[in-house]
Amino acid sequence: SQQGEEDPQALSIQEGENATMNCSYKTSINNLQWYRQNSGRGLVHLILIRSNEREKHSGRLRVTLDTSKKSSSLLITASRAADTASYFCAAGTQGGKLIFGQGTELSVKP
């Protein structure tokens, strides 16, 4: 399978703590995108990092990319109960396709 892996599969933290999710992928990429999915909903785009970038910030999100290790991480700082969701990384390949990981289920307890 071309799908990548995410680690951990599930993460439970307290409000105010930071949450770190890791992703590994197998294919060559042009970019890597992170998405959030609330229960019963579609995918919401969070951030895109290009293959020639190493780190990107957006609000409380920080994404890193290491193409030599084919891995990425998503850090959510000062988490809130509303951040409770599944988070997916997706490798953006030549031709505009996304190959998704299995996702990390984040639970933020108030």
Partner 1 sequence: EAGVAQSPRYKIIEKRQSVAFWCNPISGHATLYWYQQILGQGPKLLIQFQNNGVVDDSQLPKDRFSAERLKGVDSTLKIQPAKLEDSAVYLCASSLDLSPGNTIYFGEGSWLTVV
Contacts to partner 1 by CB under 8 A: 3, 30-31, 33, 35, 40-45, 48, 50, 88, 90, 92-103
Q: Which is nearer to partner 1, 15 or 99 (CB)?
A: 99
Q: Which of 38, 54, 55, 47 is nearest to 90 (CA)?
A: 47
Q: Which is nearer to partner 1, 7 or 15 (CB)?
A: 7
Residue 43 and residue 89: Cα distance in Å, rounded?
11
| Phi then psi dihedrals of residue 93, to 5 deg | -100, 170
Pairing of strands 61-66, 55-58: antiparallel
CB 75, min distance to partner 1, A: 20
CB 16, min distance to partner 1, A: 28
